[in-house]
Structure 1
Amino acid sequence: MSNDRKNRTHEHEPASPGRAEQVAALRPVYRADLAEGLDRFFEPPRDTCPWCGSTRLATRLRTSDLIQHKPGRFVLDRCEGCRHTFQNPQLSEAGLEFYYRDFYDGLGEKQLAMTFASRTKMYVQRAESLVPFAPTPKDWLDVGTGHGHFCEAARTVFPDTSFDGLDFTDGAELAERAGRVDHGHRSSFPELAEQLADGYDVVSMFHYLEHSTEPARELQAAYRAVRPGGHLLIEVPDPDSRYARLLGRWWLPWLQPQHLHFVPVENLRARLTDLGFTVVAEQHAEPHDPVDLLAAVWFALDAVAPRDDLPWLPVPPSRLQRILRAMTVIAGIPALLLGRLLDRLVVKRVARPLGLSNAYRLVARRD
C-alpha cells in the first residue's frame, strides 16, 4: 500500500478518545451506580475469623480508597487468636466489580500495563527463587497472571518451560494473544482446579492470595493443580512488617479495598503443611519492594491536593482546583525524591534485619 493511501486511510480512522472524554462518558454510569448506595458493595460483617474461627476480633485499620478515591470506608480487623488480618465487612461480588473497575482496565489499564511491564528485574528474581529446587520444570501455571508479564520474563530463566496463565479478568486471554503465555485461562482458580488436577510442575501465586475472597479454597486448588513432587510459590504482603504499624493507613500494601486477607507467615506455613506440602524456602529480604516511603509521601500529598478529574466524582474539578493540585504535587517533589532515595539506598539494605520487609515468599514442595 502506498504512503498516500495509508495516510488517507488513517485520516478516516476515528481518533481514540482522550482521558477527559473517557471520564465524561463514564460519569453517568458511575452516577447511576452510586445512586443505589454503597451498602450493596459489602457483605454482612462477620464476627468470626475466616482463618481460624476465633471470635476474638479487634479493629486494626480504618481507611479509604487512597488510590482511585472511590467513595467508601474500609475496615481491617485482626484476629487476636491467630493474628490473621482481613477486610470486615468484605466486598461483595458487586463491590469487587465496582472497585476493580477502571483500575486494571479502562482508565487505569495503560498506566498499570506500563508499571507491570517495567518490573522485569523483579519478575526474573521471582523465577530464580525456584532454581535451587526445580531447575528444569516442564510446565508452570501462574495464577493471577494479569497480562502475563511475569511469564514473559520467567522464560529467560526457564527457556524450555511451558507457561500458562490464569486470571479472572480478560488479562489471561490478552497475554495468550500477545504470546506471553502458552495458554490463558480466564476463570476462578477453585472452579478450574479439577480440570487442572496434577497438571503442573509449578504453580505460582505472586501477590494474588491477598485479593482472593477465600484464600483457603485457593490453596486447596493449588494442591490439586501441582503434581506430586512439584512446587508452589507464594508471595504476599507481610502484615507483620514494621512499616504496617509505622506508616498506618499510608502503607501501600494495605491497598484498600482490593486486598481482602493478610496472612502471617506462620499461618501460611502451617496451612500448607496441613494440605500436604513441605515448605523448602522462606524469604523476606528478596521479595521486599522498596517503595514504602515513596508511596506514603505520595498518598499524603494526594490526600491534601484537590481531586483529579474522576468519573465517580459528581463534577469535574474547576480550573483553580487543577492549578492548586499541580502546585501541591510540584511542591512535594523534594519529599518524593527523598522517599525514593531512602527506599532504594538505605531501607532496602536493612529491611530484613529491621523487620521492614513488606512481603514474604514461600516455596513449598507437594509431597
Structure 2
Amino acid sequence: MSDARDKKARIAALRPGYRADLDAGTDRFLAPRSTACPWCASTRLTPRLRTTDLLQHKPGRFTLDACADCGHIFQNPRLTAEGLEFYYRDFYDGLGEQRMSGTFGGREAMYRGRAEAMLPHDPAPKTWLDVGTGHGHFCAAARGVLPGTAFDGLDFTDGVELAAREGRVDHAYRGAFPGLAPELAARYDVVSMFHYLEHSTDPDRELRAAHEALRPGGHLLIEVPDPQSRYARLLGRWWLPWLQPQHLHFMPVANLRRRLTDLGFTVVAEQHAEAHDPVDLLAAVWLVLDHTAPRDDAPWLPEPPGALRRTLRTALLLTGVPALLTATLLDRFAVRPLSHRLHLSNAYRLVARRT
C-alpha cells in the first residue's frame, strides 16, 4: 500500500472517534476564564491575541491575555485536561509522528548549538536530563559535543520510548516531570528544557522539579519563545511561536530570571541571538497560505475533500512558492545576523546554576 493510501486509510479509521468527540461539544475543552495572572496574581489583564488552531485546523478559538503589571502572557481560558488531550492528539505522535520526526530530526546544527551553550559552565557533565525530549533528537546530536555524557529523556508521549529503542537516550522517563522528580532527586548535572516550559500548565512546578532533580552546583538550561520579540507584534496571529492552543505561557525574560533566583538558582548566562530560529517570515507565509487554501484531509473534518478542493489547494500552494523562497532568504540572510540588534529574536536561552 502506498504512503498516500496508508495515510488515507488511517484518517478514515480515526474520523469516527473525532466525530464523537466533537459531537459531545467543545465547551469542555476550555476551563473557566481566569481573573488573575498566574505568574503574579494581578487582576489587571488585557486581551493580547485572539486566534484559531493554524497548524492542525482543529475547531476552536483561543485567547491570550497579557498582565499589565508583570507582562506575563497566558492562554485564557486555558485548555482543560480533555482539551490538552484533544489538541495534542495526532500532532507529535499518532498521525503526526512521521511528519514531526522528520521536522525535528533534520536540525542537528541547532541541537549542537544548544549543547555548546553548556560548555563555558560545565564542559564535561556526567549526567543530563532533557525534559520534553520528544523523539530524543537533541540528545543524539548533543553526544557529538559531549561524548562522555549520559543523556536521559523525559516526555509525556511515547516518543521518548521510541528514543530509547533507537538509542538516542540512555534512559526514558514517560510522565509528568513534577511527579517523577522525587525519584530523580539530585541525580543530574544538567537539566534542559528546550521549548517545553511554555507547554506546561504550571511553569513554577516544573522549575521546582528541575531544582529537585539537579545536584547542588548543577545547571538548568532553558529555551523558550520570547514574547517581547518585535515579530510577535509585527506578524500578529501569524507568528509561529504563539502556537495556539498548545502554548499556554509566555514569560518575559526578566520574569523568568527573578523566578529562578527566588527558587535558589543563579543565572549565569542569557542568550538571545544564539536561541533565534530563523523561520519567522517563512512560517508566517506558510500559515497564511495554508489558512487561505482549502483544507487538506484530516480526521477531525466531517468528510475528506473532493477532487476540486484538492486541486485548488495544490494550485494555491504552488503560486505561493516564490513568496516562500523569498521569506526563507530574508529569514536566513537578512534578519538572522541582526535579529538581536533589531529585537527580532524569537526565543531566549537562560543557563542557571543551582546554588
Give TM-score scaled by structure 2 length.
0.98
CA-to-partner distance for each residue in 1:169-192, whole Å, 9 max, x for gaps?
111111111111110000100001
> Does 2:290 align with 1:305?
no
User: 1 CA distance for matches of 2:339 and 2:221?
Assistant: 22
- AA at the equivalent of 1:189: F
From 338, 342, 346, the counterpart of 1:350: 338
Question: 2:93·2:157 contact (CA, 8 Å) conserved in 1?
Answer: no
User: 2 CA distance for matches of 1:338 and 1:327?
Assistant: 19
| Secondary structure at the counterpart of residue 53 of structure 1 | coil
> Does 2:220 align with 1:240?
no
Match of 1:338 in 2: 326
1:261 Cα deviation (Å)?
0.3
Give TM-score scaled by structure 1 length.
0.95
CA-to-partner distance for each residue in 1:31-55, whole Å, 9 max, x for gaps?
0000010011111110000000000
> Does 2:293 align with 1:293?
no
Between the two proteins, the alignment pairs up a number of residues equal to 354
1:91 Cα deviation (Å)?
0.6
| Secondary structure at the counterpart of residue 18 of structure 1 | helix
User: 1 CA distance for matches of 2:252 and 2:259?
Assistant: 11
Percentage identity across paired residues of the two chains: 69
| Secondary structure at the counterpart of residue 126 of structure 1 | helix
User: 2 CA distance for matches of 1:120 and 1:347?
Assistant: 21
| Secondary structure at the counterpart of residue 74 of structure 1 | strand
| Secondary structure at the counterpart of residue 309 of structure 1 | coil
Match of 1:47 in 2: 35
Match of 2:263 in 1: 275
| Secondary structure at the counterpart of residue 275 of structure 2 | coil
> Does 2:101 align with 1:109?
no
Question: 2:47·2:66 contact (CA, 8 Å) conserved in 1?
Answer: yes
- AA at the equivalent of 2:67: C
User: 2 CA distance for matches of 1:340 and 1:240?
Assistant: 22
| Secondary structure at the counterpart of residue 77 of structure 1 | strand
CA-to-partner distance for each residue in 1:207-232, whole Å, 9 max, x for gaps?
00000000000000001111111100
1:15 Cα deviation (Å)?
8.1
> Does 2:65 align with 1:77?
yes
> Does 2:157 align with 1:169?
yes
Unpaired stretches in structure 2, ≥5 consecutive residues: none
> Does 2:300 align with 1:325?
no
CA-to-partner distance for each residue in 1:239-293, whole Å, 9 max, x for gaps?
0000000000000000000000000000000000001100000000001000000
Match of 1:11 in 2: none
| Secondary structure at the counterpart of residue 343 of structure 2 | coil
| Secondary structure at the counterpart of residue 164 of structure 2 | helix
From 112, 122, 127, the counterpart of 1:134: 122
> Does 2:201 align with 1:213?
yes
- AA at the equivalent of 1:312: W
> Does 2:127 align with 1:155?
no
> Does 2:25 align with 1:37?
yes
Question: 2:129·2:152 contact (CA, 8 Å) conserved in 1?
Answer: yes
- AA at the equivalent of 1:153: A
Structure with max Cα Rg:
1
1:299 Cα deviation (Å)?
0.7
User: 2 CA distance for matches of 1:88 and 1:156?
Assistant: 41
User: 2 CA distance for matches of 1:175 and 1:303?
Assistant: 33
1:352-367 alignment to 2 at 5 Å? 352-367=340-355
From 13, 22, 31, the counterpart of 1:25: 13
1:25 Cα deviation (Å)?
1.1
| Secondary structure at the counterpart of residue 268 of structure 2 | strand
| CA RMSD after TM alignment | 1.0
> Does 2:188 align with 1:200?
yes
Question: 2:45·2:67 contact (CA, 8 Å) conserved in 1?
Answer: yes
1:194 Cα deviation (Å)?
1.0
